[in-house]
Structure 1
Amino acid sequence: MPQKETGRTPRHESLAAYLDDHLLGAETGVRLFKAARETWEGTEHESVFADLVQQISDERDELETLILALGYQRSRFKKALALVGAAGGRLGPINPLSTGKGTTGQLELETLQSIVRAKECLYRTLLVLSAHDHRFHAPRIRELLELARNQQDAVAKVMEDTVPARFLT
């Protein structure tokens, strides 16, 4: 558990950029988890991805609220990049991973786990910062950290359940 230190404050410019980078990543993550939900539609794993889409969307919204509560502004460039990515996704995303089968299906699941792992790193960073800055609510960050771990486990379970069909004859 982080120890409370005094006399140290966040460098707002770097913290704002870091949080904005994670928000951009969260927006991308929501799109990729929605694509995964469509990939697994009609299977026993559909509900896993439906739940994950909702959770990750809610977390993205919470991160955006935190950024605004801290008084930070979104980078116009990153905001535009997110809009371009969203528009591209609606136009017909290049998603060679959309079958859930073969090596591409495996890579899709591994990518989704990596996305959640990056989010876990964000929460670990915020937990450390909570010892220096009261604006970060450590109990909520711990909840989000546990949620990220559970999300990784959920995707890993789908991967483990489906890997034999991908690689065994």
Structure 2
Amino acid sequence: MSETPAAPASESQPSALDREMLEDYLNQHLLGSRPGVPAFRAAADTWEGTPQHAVLARLADGVEASQERLEEIIARLGFTTPVRDRAAGAVAAAGGRLNPVNAVRAKGSGWTQVELDVLTGALQGQSEMWRILERLAPHVPGLDAEEARGLLEQTREYLAEVQRVTDETLLRRFLG
């Protein structure tokens, strides 16, 4: 009779929460989100005078609200954001507003698409964070799976809107 090998520990068999790891993860996402709001505002400026401007300006407000929700979750879990991260976040936010991706706010250059690609990547990262928090919620007191799921769906909607802006404008940019 052969023995069945022991199954490796899986995510369904969690051990004690590594609070330090979760705190660091959330703070890294918060730090990474700091240039996001100004980047969305800068992208809206790029599209000033077009229907895309209103979409990107609204998304900037939504991304800012999501960032505030992340700050609330960090506080609710009893975590803090190190001073160095707050300072680095302020610098990153300023850099995002300067818009190093599309500094001249050109609608007709390759940078215009890169700017939209950067927004897409930021939202994909944010989506993954909310998905992970949804999965962790049953194991972490203070995390709310419904809240994380709602934020995940909202971020996916934002992502779809940026992709719509891309789809609505790419043929003009790339095919003249």
TM normalised by structure 2 equals 0.86
Give the SS at the match of 1:131.
helix
Q: CA deviation at 1:10?
A: 2.0
In the alignment, which residue of structure 1 is the partner of 2:8? Answer: none
Query: Aligned match of 1:108 in 115, 133, 147?
Result: 115
1:45 paired with 2:38, answer: no
Which residues of structure 2 form unaligned runs of 5+?
1-11
In the alignment, which residue of structure 2 is the partner of 1:94? Answer: 100
Q: Distance in 2 between matches of 1:32 and 1:140?
A: 25
* Residues 39 and 96, structure 2, Cα contact 8 Å, conserved in 1: no
Give the SS at the match of 1:45.
helix
* Greater C-alpha radius of gyration: 2
In the alignment, which residue of structure 2 is the partner of 1:84? Answer: 91
Is the deviation greater in 130-139 or in 152-161? Answer: 130-139
* Residues 100 and 108, structure 1, Cα contact 8 Å, conserved in 2: no
Q: CA deviation at 1:96?
A: 2.7
Q: CA deviation at 1:37?
A: 1.2
Query: Aligned match of 2:76 in 69, 73, 78?
Result: 69
One-letter identity of the residue aligned with 1:52: L
Q: Distance in 1 between matches of 2:63 and 2:96?
A: 17
Aligned residue pairs total 165
Q: CA deviation at 1:131?
A: 2.1
Structure 1 residues 139 and 102, CA gap change in structure 2 (3 angstroms): same
Once the two structures are superposed, what CA deviation does each residue of 1:88-118 show, in whole Å capped at 9, x if it has no partner? 456x453435223221111111110000000
| Runs ≥4 residues deviating over 3 A | 5-9, 86-90, 92-95
* Residues 35 and 95, structure 2, Cα contact 8 Å, conserved in 1: no
One-letter identity of the residue aligned with 2:42: A
TM normalised by structure 1 equals 0.89
Q: Distance in 2 between matches of 1:103 and 1:122?
A: 29
* Residues 35 and 96, structure 2, Cα contact 8 Å, conserved in 1: no
Q: Distance in 2 between matches of 1:93 and 1:155?
A: 17
Q: CA deviation at 1:8?
A: 3.3
One-letter identity of the residue aligned with 2:46: T
In the alignment, which residue of structure 2 is the partner of 1:134? Answer: 141
Query: Aligned match of 2:66 in 36, 59, 66?
Result: 59
In the alignment, which residue of structure 2 is the partner of 1:162? Answer: 169
Alignment RMSD (CA, Å): 2.0
Q: Distance in 1 between matches of 2:95 and 2:146?
A: 37
Structure 1 residues 45 and 82, CA gap change in structure 2 (3 angstroms): same
